[in-house]
Structure 1
Amino acid sequence: MNRTRIQIAKADIVKHFDHLPEHVLKLKEIRAILASQRDFWRLAQSTTAEHFIAFLKEHAKLKEIDFPFPQRAERCYVWGEVPLLSILLSLKKNLYLSHYTAMRLHGLTEQSPTTIYITDERGISGSGQHERAQLGQAEIDLAFSRPPRVSHNWVEHAGKKIYLLNGAHTGHLGVATEPVTDEGGQEVLARLTNLERTLIDITVRPVYAGGVFEVAKAFELAKDRVSINRLVAMLRKLDFAYPYHQAIGYYLERAGYKPSQIDLIRRLPIEHNFYLMHEMDETRYVSNWRLAVPDGF
């Protein structure tokens, strides 16, 4: 039986893909490979990218994976075995792991979350300074009497609920690339928020971190590793409209941080009453941070 040209070239094609620096590819990258190698592999002009992909899916180790996110579906092609975190970070440029996922990778939770959070930062937009100038007690009270905004941009994949969050522009402040160990025990080179940025993000969005009890636990577990100087510098740069530093100060105090560390937060202005989380029923008031927290917390 006569073998087709693509069958004859299979060993060379497999070798080429094996030696690629990245094993998660988009359609345009596979098209580029086919275009650049077609003559060397002696493939017929009638071999389209679709034919090429179909052949590699059936006869080699290419897998097509769809992530039908409501805001924009993503598709990628994976060569061989690649950890899920690496696949997710390859879906778009400059994505990073955040919130509960960053907590787990930094050892800031004793749980095993079944949700993965990835952030896609928005580009530069207008300054939020005007909003900050107009933010009074009535606006804060109203905002935190309502449920928190929660993204609906998620999919289920491999037993995980994967959120692709649309993050505010921060210039990727506190985002680092470092080796981490995924749930399967594999080492993955991942982009994720560093310790200080993670603690800030989960204070701002406890709903993406397993709730305020998990956030409090994260502050306890970070105690010997976190730099409060770095955290405060980051807070100043992020320049939130809401006084999240009051919540951070409370978490530090609750976790038994040194007075000298807590004092770094106290230097930031405390001008309004604030809330640890949205839509609390029974609360108690922590006067030194001007903060309402859940009763019994």
Structure 2
Amino acid sequence: MANQSRIQIAKPDIVRCLDGQPAPVFKLSDLKRILSEQRQGWRLAQRTTTQDFIDFLEQHGKLTTFHFPFPHREETRFVWGSVPLLEVLSTLKPRCYYSHYTAMRMHGLTEQIPKTIYLNHEQHLKSQSTGGLAQERIDAAFRRKARESNNVIDFRGARIYLINGKNTAELGVTSESVTYDSDTSVTVRLTSLERTLIDIAVRPAYAGGIFEVMKAFRLAKEHASVNALAAMLQTIDHTYPYHQVIGFYLERAGYRSSQLDLIKRFPMRYDFYLAHGMKDMHYIDSWRLYIPKGL
């Protein structure tokens, strides 16, 4: 009881301290550090544990615990006050950023309101494969269904993917103030318009499918720089010839021939596929690309 009364007496100072922190989202280690640094000033007993501290702030303050049980690694965050979910998720991995369907929504490239959130943190830099491509291997790979990350959870009505993506040295990643599913703006890291177009062409399953990708290219036509897109493609240097996919989308979306020429400069040595696992297909000679019949 005495211990409780001490922390109750210290409540105004505790609230002031947490209100004054640089960010309102904490890891467990952050709260441990704050308690350790302030314990003497707040005159809290040594037997007051970090969990006691958390329990008190949840009951008598404005602390909320967010538990994210991702299969690869569970994460917990402690949120002080009202904080948009996008801001909370941005703390899950160092230098993570929003991508694919989520970035599409932020850039106004979809008329849908996606219930799935894609948060990307890049893999460590790996040496490039020197095995090269072969048509038989491309054919075999794209006959199968596309692989999707299983590092996904359902949380408060949203499905959240935490993707461990290709290392691009954060090419085309920017920080912007956006609105997502409310009128409240939040500053987050996300892929630029051009980088988003590349990513969704590569992974249409993370973008609502090929029809949504097609629509995104149309909606981006007056805003996207194909020069910047082509430069990014060259820098990323995908193993597969995704430039053929992107060229097709640009052409179907009505981009100028001079813009298409920027993509046609890339070599087209192989037949390729618009997406994995297609059944009835039609072949586009100009892009050496198989697409679904009727597209």
How far the C-alpha of 1:15 sits from its partner, in A, is: 1.2
* Aligned position for 2:92: 91
- 2:183 and 2:265 map into 1 onto residues whose CA distance is 42
| CA shift digits 1:3-32 (9 cap, x unpaired) | 611100101111111121211100000111
- 1:168 and 1:245 map into 2 onto residues whose CA distance is 17
- 2:203 and 2:99 map into 1 onto residues whose CA distance is 11
How far the C-alpha of 1:126 sits from its partner, in A, is: 1.6
* Aligned position for 2:124: 123
Amino acid at match of 1:216: M
* Aligned position for 1:233: 231
| CA shift digits 1:22-65 (9 cap, x unpaired) | 11100000111111111221111111111111110111010111
* Aligned position for 1:20: 21
| CA shift digits 1:108-166 (9 cap, x unpaired) | 001111000001111111223x03x2x11111111100110011111111100001111
* Aligned position for 1:36: 37
Matched pairs, number? 294
- 2:186 and 2:36 map into 1 onto residues whose CA distance is 31
* Aligned position for 2:170: 172
| CA shift digits 1:59-117 (9 cap, x unpaired) | 10101110100111111100010000001011121111010000000000011110000
- 1:71 and 1:156 map into 2 onto residues whose CA distance is 14
How far the C-alpha of 1:236 sits from its partner, in A, is: 0.6
How far the C-alpha of 1:182 sits from its partner, in A, is: 2.1
* Contact in 1 for aligned 2:105/2:180 (Cα 8 Å): no
| CA shift digits 1:209-247 (9 cap, x unpaired) | 000000000000000111111111110111111000000
* Aligned position for 2:291: 293
Name the SS of the counterpart of 1:90 in structure 2.
Answer: coil
How much identity, in percent, do the aligned residues show? 54
- 1:68 and 1:122 map into 2 onto residues whose CA distance is 20
| CA shift digits 1:149-200 (9 cap, x unpaired) | 0111111111000011111111111111111112011111101111111000
Gaps of 5+ in 1: none
Name the SS of the counterpart of 2:153 in structure 1.
Answer: strand
- 1:106 pairs with 2:100: no
* Aligned position for 1:140: 138
* Contact in 1 for aligned 2:96/2:119 (Cα 8 Å): yes
- 2:59 and 2:126 map into 1 onto residues whose CA distance is 46
Q: 1:209 aligns with which of 207, 210, 213?
A: 207
How far the C-alpha of 1:296 sits from its partner, in A, is: 0.6
Name the SS of the counterpart of 2:283 in structure 1.
Answer: strand
- 2:43 and 2:175 map into 1 onto residues whose CA distance is 40
- 1:37 and 1:92 map into 2 onto residues whose CA distance is 27
* Aligned position for 2:181: 183
- 1:278 and 1:92 map into 2 onto residues whose CA distance is 29
Q: 1:275 aligns with which of 270, 273, 276?
A: 273
Amino acid at match of 1:151: S
Name the SS of the counterpart of 1:4 in structure 2.
Answer: helix
- 2:93 and 2:148 map into 1 onto residues whose CA distance is 21
* Aligned position for 2:218: 220
Amino acid at match of 1:221: L
- 2:91 and 2:183 map into 1 onto residues whose CA distance is 20
- 1:200 pairs with 2:191: no
CA RMSD of aligned residues (A): 1.1
Name the SS of the counterpart of 1:55 in structure 2.
Answer: helix
- 1:275 and 1:156 map into 2 onto residues whose CA distance is 31
Q: Is the deviation greater in 208-217 or in 85-94?
A: 85-94
- 2:50 and 2:105 map into 1 onto residues whose CA distance is 39
- 1:92 and 1:31 map into 2 onto residues whose CA distance is 19
TM-score, scaled relative to structure 2: 0.98
